[in-house]
Structure 1
Amino acid sequence: MGEQNVSEAEEWDGLDDSCTHFLAGAASNPAGCARLLPKGDTAKVQRVAVMPPHRGTGLGRLIMLAVLDHARAAGFVEVILDSQTHAVPFYEKLGFIAHGPEFDDAGIPHRSMRLRTP
C-alpha cells in the first residue's frame, strides 16, 4: 500500500475471508503474494505483488501460474483481473487479453483483462 500510495480505506475491502490467498517465501519473510476472489464461475485475481528484491526473478510468473492452476482445478471458466497499465504485457504473456478502456483505480491507470480457462 505504501509503495503504491493506496490508502488503507481503499485496500481493505472486507473480502479476504472469501478469497484464496497465495504467498511466496517464508511467512516471516514474504517475497510475493496474490489473492483469488470467486465470482460465480469466474475468479478475479487481485493484490498481486512482488517485493522489490524479488522482481525480475520470475517469481511473479510463478505466483500467477499457481493462481491459474488453482482456478482451473476449482472449475472456474474464466479468470479476470484489473492490471496496472505498465503490467499489461506481463499478463498478456500468461494469456490474458485486455479489453475496455483504461480506467483509474486509486489514482493508478488500469486495464481490465480476462483469460478463459481450458
Structure 2
Amino acid sequence: MAFFDGAYLSAKIAHCFLALGSDVQTAVYAERSLQMNEGYVRGRVFNLLMPATAHAPGEPEEAVRVGNVALQLVEGLQPQRALSYLRRLDHRLRPHAIRPEVLVFRERARVLTSG
C-alpha cells in the first residue's frame, strides 16, 4: 500500500468526476494527482489525459498541450486503457477540429490509436 498516497487518491477522485462529466472537478483532482511518483509512467499517462479531456470543451489549447505530454509517454507504452483515454480526448476535441494545433494532435493520436 506504499503507492496509496494523496496523489493516488486524487487520481481516483478525478476518475470519478470524469465519469460523472464534471470537467472542473476532474481538472482540479487530476492536477493534484500529478504530484505522483515519477516512476509510474503508465499512471502518469492517465493522470495527464484526465485534465486534458476536462479542458477539451472550453480550453482546447490546454487540452492539446497536456495531451501532447501524455502522447510522448504513450508512444513508448501503448497500453490499451491509455489508448481508450486518447480516443475519448480525441472525441472531445472534435468541436475544435479546425484549430491547427488540435488537427495535429488528433492526427498524432489517431496514428497511435488505430495501430
TM-score by length of 1: 0.35
Larger strand percent: 1
Larger helix percent: 2
Larger radius of gyration: 1
TM-score by length of 2: 0.35
